[in-house]
Structure 1
Amino acid sequence: MHWLWWVGGALALGILEMLSLELVFIMAAGGALAGAIASAAGAPLWAQILIAAITSVLLLVTLRPWLLRHLKKRTPLVETNASALVGRPAVVLATVTAEAGRVKLAGEVWSARTTAGAALPPGTEVLVDRIDGATAVVVPTPAA
């Protein structure tokens, strides 16, 4: 009857996995199911715990990396937040120098600076090279 506790633990870990999607809790759930099998087979509690722990670690070390590799191949990476802005065009609103400036980027006004030697006047089209904190580091477009 103790095997029911193991199955309940596996179900709880499965629910946690659905919330995290990191493929860690599901490996622990696999270990809990191994503990349930050991319990149903009549193993003592210390053996059930040992079997569950060893199974979880083996799944984490072997199965999880393989699953992650195949998942990343099938699911394209979608850039979000600041990293999605890198490479996008912007327009200079206030002269951008190596120290300060303002650009309109993705419909919003951002503080900006440039790595180019010359100041970029208002109206200049630029590309976002990187995001440094809350500042867009921009470079002139090749056509400029």
Structure 2
Amino acid sequence: MEAWLIWLIFAVVLGIAEIFTLTAALGLLGGAALITAGSAAIGLPLPAQLVVFTVAATAGVLLVRPIATRHMFRPQLQRFGVDALIGKSAYVVQEVTGREGRVRVDGEEWTARAYDDAVVIPRGAIVDVMQISGSTAIVYPRE
């Protein structure tokens, strides 16, 4: 079997392993093996292929991996879904008590409950969404 084909198989195996581990290291080693497969295809001898693999792998792990891991573990900058509704203001469509009610948040009607069970919020009031529990907005009246 030719050397370039062995390096290519090695690159594919490392790429598949990267899919299951998500470490960003095995994928970079697979990329280095792919570069080495190219150098073997143009006819470089085995010692030169090993040098190419070592340089490419070292450069990938030392230069690219820190950037990739920084992007993978960056905190989420924007809230999505129901988490984005927390903190928004809402309009009371139907009186809200500790058990029931309806509010309109961003044009959508939600079932609602008062954050404080003792509070009754009249229709037409403006409230703040404190949290979302299932499909129910937990709200508190604005002062």
The normalised TM-score by structure 1 is: 0.61
Please tell me whether the aligned partners of residues 90 and 106 of structure 2 are also in contact (alpha carbons under 8 angstroms). Answer: yes
* Identity within the alignment, %: 26
Q: How many residues align?
A: 113
State the match for 2:94 in structure 1: 94
1:103 is aligned to 2:103:
yes
The equivalent position to 1:24 in structure 2, one of 17, 22, 25, is 22
Letter in 2 for 1:3: W
Within-5 A mapping of 1:1-144:
1=3, 2-10=6-14, 24=22, 26-33=24-31, 67-68=69-70, 72=74, 77-116=77-116, 117-142=118-143
- Aligned equivalents of 1:65, 1:103: Cα separation in 2: 44
- Partner of 2:28, secondary structure, is helix
Provide the aligned C-alpha RMSD in A: 3.6
The normalised TM-score by structure 2 is: 0.61
Shift of the 129–66 alpha-carbon distance from structure 1 to 2, 3 Å rule, reads same
- Aligned equivalents of 2:66, 2:97: Cα separation in 1: 47
* CA offset digits 1:67-115 (Å, max 9, x no partner): 3379637xx6011111110000001111111111100011000000012
Letter in 2 for 1:91: Y
Shift of the 25–72 alpha-carbon distance from structure 1 to 2, 3 Å rule, reads closer
Shift of the 65–138 alpha-carbon distance from structure 1 to 2, 3 Å rule, reads farther
* CA offset digits 1:34-75 (Å, max 9, x no partner): 7777xx66xxxxxxxxxxxxx9xxx7xxx56983379637xx
Structure 1 unaligned regions, length at least 5 = 18-22, 42-54
